[in-house]
Structure 1
Amino acid sequence: MTQHIVIAPDSFKGTATAAQVAEAIADGWRTVRPDDLLQSLPMADGGEGTLDAFAAAVPGARRHPITVTGPIGDPVDAEWLELPDGSAVVELAQTSGLTLLDPLQPFAAHTVGFGEAIAAALDHGARRLLLAIGGSSSTDGGAGLLSALGARLIDADGASTAHGNAGLATLDRIDTTGLRALPADGAVILSDVTNPLLGDRGAAAVFGPQKGADATDVPVLDANLARFARRAQDAFGQDLADAAAVEPGAGAAGGAGFGLLVWGATATSGAGGVGEAIALTEAAAAASIVITGEGRFDDQTADGKVASWVAGLAADRTMLVAGAIQAPTEGIFLAAASLTELAGGAEAAMAEPLVHLRAAGAALATQYRP
């Protein structure tokens, strides 16, 4: 009997895109059950690969190549994605991402390029923005993106501040006179991060070390973000700025979540936002089995990661493929396959991920009993 199988994995970071993962799992499944109807809906959680996930899942999506200012000023080739309903997907990792810097520069890196990409989508007439903000290289609080959208960050002498977190140390006021308005249908932040802007769980303390900050840098980064938040009170209103600073997700992308929130964007789960936009909820409801996946399934997966979100759609009909499984899967997934186990080790799994993803698809198909 033909079964409807939906395949909705995240990317396996550094080894395979979500689309490649979905295709490989499907290829493996077909070797065992060739008559099943397979539907690939690659997923993402707001980080690197989100734009590609939309492009693969939404018929008629159109890529728009652009060149923007990279995280320390060098030009970067990127793109934004136009959806048939007039929405635009803009991915921070492409314009201001961690992988664009070597070495990392925690005080100098900024989000200007991300703002430029947003502006390009607005210039084209985008009616709604879907803003994927994972994978940031900076801790500038979103100051760079706001400046690219027309805000002026000014020091005590009336000059524009330098970009990056370091420039926030001299910030005296923010002039929003030229700041562009949100598009007609608003802007949605896609992120799996729930941290606030400041403090022990804030952008600098939690994510600064990933961006090159050492123990002595973190308090300085946090103090500069706090100064930015105070100046935002004057520019955007104290109530709005205070609420934005403590909003879950304000600390995402080095505080870019905060900058977008004070601009007027709303925050949502990255996986949930992507899943809704590509109609995964409806597909999962009609499916016999849903297969999801991620590079590592561990205790953090429950914090908004793709695999946990997909499992919530079809709790008794979901299977998992993961590069490594480091947390219990019983009671969450109907079946699970680990590439590390199939390959005989992590190094072998990462050397040929597509080979072992196909093996995982075949293994799950073998276990399936309709």
Structure 2
Amino acid sequence: MKPTRVLIAPNAFKHSLDATAVALAIQEGLQKSTLDCVCKCFPVGDGGDGTGALIIQKHKGTLVSVQVSDPFDRKITSLFGLVNEGDTAIIEMANASGIQLVKPEELNPLRATSFGTGELIKAALDKGVKKFVLAIGGSATVDGGTGILRALGIRFLDAANNELTIPERLTALTRIDLSNLDQRILACDITILCDVENTLLGDEGSAAVFGPQKGATPNGVKKLDASLATFAQVARQQTGIDMTIVRHGGAAGGVAAGLHTFLNARLVNGIDFFLEFTGFSEVLANADLVITGEGSIDEQTLHGKGPFGVAYQAKQKNLPVIGLAGKIPLEQNAKLNQYFDVLLAVGNGPTDMTTALGCTEQNLVRTAWQLGNLLAMNSR
């Protein structure tokens, strides 16, 4: 009997392990089990932290080091990648404007900006890049992308022609000056990878949903929403584009909406783009079983998250799919059951979040080992 060909294609487990580490832990557990198998690791990204690094790695790209500004205008050394013979830049927003660059006590989305990500884009333009792929997960900002746009030459002005440089001041915005925009960017193809579908404003908007994760108080959320609303209103007056209705527009603190409006960026489902750009279908063709996973698998997973993208394509090939997660629904879920044959929680009993996050790797190894033994019994 031939060995079972297992394709291991997990997303990152947020705040714990990146996708590569998750895949290797699952592989270790399976190889320790009694299952006769051949494993292929194919870690995935849906636009969240680490997506860009995976794309660069899979395309054997080169890294470029650049001095940029962090979310609070402090100079740091950051990176972007070049693939396709230098024609395409892969930029991770988290590398310049990320929440991991800021101490927890410093988090303040009323003042944090995405300017550093714009500096990465400008550095890539200087390299002659014509295409951009932006992974925008993990940001510390809710500035509507105004920081990026400022780095590229756009000015946001109040009634007295004072430049507005932080999100909390955008409520005073009356005019957007495009005269100094770097014209090179308008000739480029820009693709933004999104892992959420939220629009810009309101209860399901950028400030309300993501602001608290980035340090916003309830009052801060109201201020940010008002700032983004003013930005959207002035932008519509000048461009004719209503950024408040753009699907995915609320991603990364509204960066998606801002860049779509002013740079004609394409907003795409991150996992779908990733799987196509990295040749997932070719790998899938040589699998008998697919294992995916991330920190939590629930109905939200079906809205553009990594495991859903993997499971959807696997089901098109009639392959069995197993999902591993730190958290899964307590009850059977008919929608999830269409794509996941089995969902397994990797925890080893009730525990606090900090302990659980610290034990993710060993929990994955143990769960995969038990899973492998179970599959081996079934194949006898």
> Is 2:130 the counterpart of 1:123?
no
- Name 1:135's counterpart in structure 2: 138
> Is 2:260 the counterpart of 1:257?
no
Q: CA deviation at 1:214?
A: 2.4
- Name 1:83's counterpart in structure 2: 83
Q: CA deviation at 1:75?
A: 1.8
- Name 1:25's counterpart in structure 2: 26
Alignment of 1:303-342 (within 5 A): 303-315=303-315, 316-326=319-329, 328=332, 330-341=337-348
Aligned partner letter, 2:23 = A
Q: CA deviation at 1:285?
A: 3.4
Aligned partner letter, 2:53 = D
> Is 2:173 the counterpart of 1:171?
yes
CA distance in 2, matches of 1:282, 1:184: 32
| Residue range with higher mean Cα deviation, 262-271 or 32-41 | 32-41
Change (3 A) 1:183 1:84: farther
TM-score (norm 2): 0.88
Q: CA deviation at 1:357?
A: 1.8
CA distance in 2, matches of 1:154, 1:354: 49
Contact 2:35 2:373 (C-alpha < 8 Å) held by counterparts: no
Alignment of 1:29-48 (within 5 A): 29-32=30-33, 36-48=37-49
Q: What are the superposed Cα offsets for residues 248-297 of structure 1, whole Å, 9 maximum, x if unpaired?
A: 11111111111110111011111112222111133223321121110122
- Name 2:277's counterpart in structure 1: 277
Change (3 A) 1:200 1:356: closer
Contact 1:196 1:248 (C-alpha < 8 Å) held by counterparts: yes
Q: CA deviation at 1:344?
A: 6.6
Change (3 A) 1:173 1:33: farther
Change (3 A) 1:225 1:65: same
Q: Secondary structure at the match of 2:218?
A: coil
Q: Secondary structure at the match of 1:89?
A: strand
Q: CA deviation at 1:330?
A: 4.2
Alignment of 1:1-370 (within 5 A): 1-32=2-33, 36-58=37-59, 60-84=60-84, 86-101=87-102, 102-161=105-164, 163-180=165-182, 181-182=184-185, 186-235=189-238, 237-238=239-240, 241-242=241-242, 244-262=243-261, 263-315=263-315, 316-326=319-329, 328=332, 330-341=337-348, 345=351, 349-368=356-375, 369=378
Q: CA deviation at 1:130?
A: 1.0
CA-atom RMSD, angstroms?
A: 2.3
CA distance in 1, matches of 2:281, 2:34: 24
Contact 1:271 1:309 (C-alpha < 8 Å) held by counterparts: yes
TM-score (norm 1): 0.90
CA distance in 2, matches of 1:34, 1:78: 43
CA distance in 2, matches of 1:318, 1:234: 49
Contact 1:203 1:255 (C-alpha < 8 Å) held by counterparts: yes
Contact 2:145 2:254 (C-alpha < 8 Å) held by counterparts: yes
Q: CA deviation at 1:4?
A: 2.8
Contact 2:292 2:321 (C-alpha < 8 Å) held by counterparts: yes
Change (3 A) 1:185 1:35: farther
CA distance in 2, matches of 1:367, 1:57: 32
Q: CA deviation at 1:185?
A: 5.7
CA distance in 1, matches of 2:281, 2:75: 38
Q: CA deviation at 1:46?
A: 0.9
CA distance in 1, matches of 2:131, 2:267: 14
Aligned partner letter, 2:166 = G
Q: CA deviation at 1:208?
A: 2.0
Contact 2:56 2:90 (C-alpha < 8 Å) held by counterparts: no
| Residue range with higher mean Cα deviation, 343-352 or 332-341 | 343-352
Q: What are the superposed Cα offsets for residues 30-74 of structure 1, whole Å, 9 maximum, x if unpaired?
A: 22368643222111121111122223433x222222221111111
Specify every segment of 5 or more residues in structure 1 that has no aligned partner in the other structure, as ranges. none
Q: Secondary structure at the match of 2:191?
A: strand
Aligned partner letter, 2:269 = S
Number of aligned residue pairs: give it.
363
Change (3 A) 1:200 1:352: closer
Contact 1:296 1:326 (C-alpha < 8 Å) held by counterparts: no
Change (3 A) 1:202 1:352: closer
Change (3 A) 1:338 1:201: closer
Q: CA deviation at 1:349?
A: 4.3
CA distance in 2, matches of 1:326, 1:150: 47
Contact 1:335 1:364 (C-alpha < 8 Å) held by counterparts: no
Change (3 A) 1:178 1:367: farther
CA distance in 2, matches of 1:319, 1:62: 34
Aligned partner letter, 2:172 = T
